[in-house]
Each structure stands twice: as structure tokens, then as C-alpha cells.
Amino acid sequence: MIRIVEDLKNVDVYLSLRKQVGWIELDRQQAQKALDNSVKIFTVYDDDKPIGMGRIVGDQAVISYIQDLIVIPEYQSRHIGSMLIDKLIDYVKSMTKTGTRMMLCLMCAKGREEFYEKHGFIGRPTPQLGPGMIQYILQ
């Protein structure tokens, strides 16, 4: 049975899910700090098996980011990602103060744009917005 657990900060689950989708490895301390500093975490289970996760990070007032939307390969194309992103969007809506607006951002993997567009996201650049940008800081 599919269920969602809120605010689970289990570093082993997080690292396992990341590994199963082929993302870069994080050390345990870095991964735990990421979880601890998340605004909200939703972890999806099939019975006792973790199959997905999504996190919200941000300032909880002006800007939020969807981070680490993960669904392991054997559960992709089963609407788990849509269920997760809907939960994440609903959470951000719930913390947005009446009469204000919150910017909800994400960076998607190449080829996943259509999925996010179905959920109301717009690609950049647009006539009003420049391209998103990134810089990796290596130590």
C-alpha cells in the first residue's frame, strides 16, 4: 500500500533513494544536514519500502524550492511523482500568507520539463525572465 510519511529525516533512506536514481553521492554528514535544514520532507513508501521523496527548502516567506524530487526507477510512470509534487505544492500554498505570493522554484533534469509543465511550472527563459543559472562550489 502506498503511503506518505512527513518529515522523516532518515539519512539511510535519503542516500539509498539518491543512489537508486543515479544521483551524485553525498557524504552522510552533508546528507543529514540537508535533511535537517529542509522546510518539509515527504517520503513515499510502498508498504515498508521507500520508493520516493520530495523536499521543500527556502525561507518560508518569499521563496521556496522543490528539491530532490525522487522516484526510484521501478515506480516511475505510476503517478508517484505527481502525487509527491502535488503534496509539495499544497504545502507551499498552505504556508503562503494570505494576500502575498510565494515563488516556488525548481531545477529539473533534462527531459523532465513536460512533467513539471503539467503541474503549472514554466520553463525559463521567458520574455520577462532570464535563464536559470547554477554554480557548483567545490572544496
Return the domain boundaries, the chain. Answer: 2-118
Whether 4 contacts 43, CB under 8 Å:
yes
pLDDT digits (tens, 9 = 90+) for 34-86: 999 999 999 999 999 999 999 999 999 999 999 999 999 999 999 999 999 99
User: Which pLDDT band holds residue 136 (cuts at 50, 70, 90)?
Assistant: confident
- pTM (predicted TM-score): 0.93
Between CA 29 and CA 107 the distance in angstroms is 23
Say which CATH topology domain 2-118 has.
Aminopeptidase (3.40.630)
